[in-house]
Amino acid sequence: MTEPTIEGLQELTRLFQQMETKSGRRIVKAALRAAVTEIGKEMRRELSPKVKEARRSIRGIVKGSKRVTAKVGVHVGKGRDAQPAKKRTPSTGGGVGIGARNVHWWILGTTERFRGRKRKSRFARAGKSLVSTGRMPAQQAGLASLAFRRAAGRLPALMQARADKQLQKELARKGR
């Protein structure tokens, strides 16, 4: 009886070794991107309707060439500093309101804040003292963890589907 031989074993071994590096990271990134997108959608759904204008500041990013990391939240990713300001008429009095630029105040709360110019000196200028605007308690503390818990049941299937799709792309790329 003759020993069975496998044709193309060296080619297959080389293909799997390459997939451990670049292709493998691309597959992992694709799967993580699917998870981050779903958690971001859930965060937008969970964000209070009082601050619905700020929903567009919730984003995610997946990056890394050697160590892949993923992050989702408020002001994450590219363009995080270029958030649109809340549209106000000049005659509107009061504070700045909660918009895309400061939704983190709503989620995490603030410490004591002041209106006016702060000086290096401990003493306020005569007639130009700082006016306290108070502190804001956290309105939705734990928003990200709540969104993750709510989306956790859907994540494995989404990640698996996206990883399979990316694997097929990588195999097609190697087959050329």
8 falls in which pLDDT band (50, 70, 90)?
low
Whole-number CA gyration radius for the chain: 25
Whether residue 2 is contained in a domain is answered as no
Task: Please state the domain count of the chain.
Answer: 1
Across 26-40, 44-58, 65-79, 160-174, least confident range: 65-79
To the nearest whole percent, how much of the chain has pLDDT over 90?
A: 26
For residue 142, tell me if it sits in a domain. Answer: no
Count of CB atoms within 10 A of residue 124's CB? 13
Residue 58, domain member (yes or no): yes
Token digits for 91? 């005659």
Distance, in Å, from the CA atom of 159 to the CA atom of 157, rounded to the nearest integer, reads 5
Q: Provide the residue type at 116 as one letter.
A: G
Q: Which residues contact 42 (CB under 8 A, 6 or more apart)?
A: 147, 148, 150, 151
Cα–Cα distance between 105 and 136 in angstroms, integer?
A: 7
For residue 133, tell me if it sits in a domain: no
- Whether 126 maps to a domain, the answer reads no
Cβ–Cβ < 8 Å for 49, 82: no
pLDDT of residue 86: 61
Tell whether 86 is covered by a domain: no
* Residue-level pLDDT at 92: 61
Domain containing 75: what range?
9-80+96-105+147-175
Of the pLDDT bands very low, low, confident and very high (cuts 50, 70, 90), residue 149 is very high
- pTM recorded for the entire structure: 0.74
Task: Quote the Cα angle for 52-76-112, to 5°.
Answer: 70
Q: What's the CA gap between 168 and 4, in Å, rounded?
A: 28
Cα–Cα nearest to 152, from 58, 31, 33, 35: 35
Q: Is residue 91 part of a domain?
A: no
* Residue 87 placed within a domain: no
CB-CB contact of 62 with 32 (8 Å): yes
Query: In this model, does residue 129 exceed pLDDT 90?
Result: no
